[in-house]
Structure 1
């Protein structure tokens, strides 16, 4: 049983997704003039699938050694390999990237407001409604 009912962890996962998507869009916009650059995108479904797999675990020779996992790649990010938007082989559509950035920003801000509201409610409960 989760202390907060899983809501905060779900919001955290959503914020991680939105942050990764924002980084990917920024990378696409930064490489709009790079020849043969292929645009990247983030899939939440693929992100969940990749997060379950592709981890490297440490070999422990003693039970007292710490156990840790290392992810081998950024989960959920994929590129459009066969798509050329420009004649130089670049696959970035600047209008689509800006629209996607605006949409992702709205999504991210909504999640931040929701998690902030959750923390304010918890703070109010801890203080006894004062």
Structure 2
């Protein structure tokens, strides 16, 4: 049994994408701040939990209804540290920004498609 609707999964993904957008914006804003360490958003722990959730068959992937937001923001201690102790790589941040914008647009379209389906089922035009 699937306990998370597609719209709920899309909502979680949109929230994660927004958190990533905020982390990237903060990194870009602090590119010249001495000793600033870049922030990043991770999703891995939640993905593992989702894969382990109630499965009727070991080869099936199912979804749980956990209240976990699906992401967390952590300090990125890797990368080249500049002379001022800052580790923000502007080129990397701009690349992540473009990728995240595409993800957000795709998720927004998926949410819109779900609402269109609801409208059809409820007898709308």
TM-score normalised to structure 2 length:
0.73
Q: Partner residue of 2:92?
A: 96
The structure having more radius of gyration, on CA atoms, is 1
Q: Partner residue of 2:11?
A: 12
Runs of 4+ in 1 over 4 A off after TM superposition: none
1:45, distance to aligned residue in structure 2 (A): 1.8
Q: Partner residue of 1:120?
A: 116
1:22, distance to aligned residue in structure 2 (A): 0.4
Q: Deviations over 1:9-48 (max 9, x none)?
A: 11011001101000000000000010000001110124x3
1:82–1:10 distance in 2 versus 1, CA, 3 Å: closer
The 1-side partners of 2:16 and 2:94 are apart by 18
1:124, distance to aligned residue in structure 2 (A): 2.0
1:98, distance to aligned residue in structure 2 (A): 0.3
Unaligned 5+ segments in structure 1 are 50-74
1:129, distance to aligned residue in structure 2 (A): 5.3
1:82, distance to aligned residue in structure 2 (A): 5.5
Q: Deviations over 1:53-87 (max 9, x none)?
A: xxxxxxxxxxxxxxxxxxxxxx6111123644311
The 2-side partners of 1:92 and 1:82 are apart by 10
The 1-side partners of 2:76 and 2:99 are apart by 20
1:119–1:82 distance in 2 versus 1, CA, 3 Å: closer
RMSD between aligned residues: 2.4
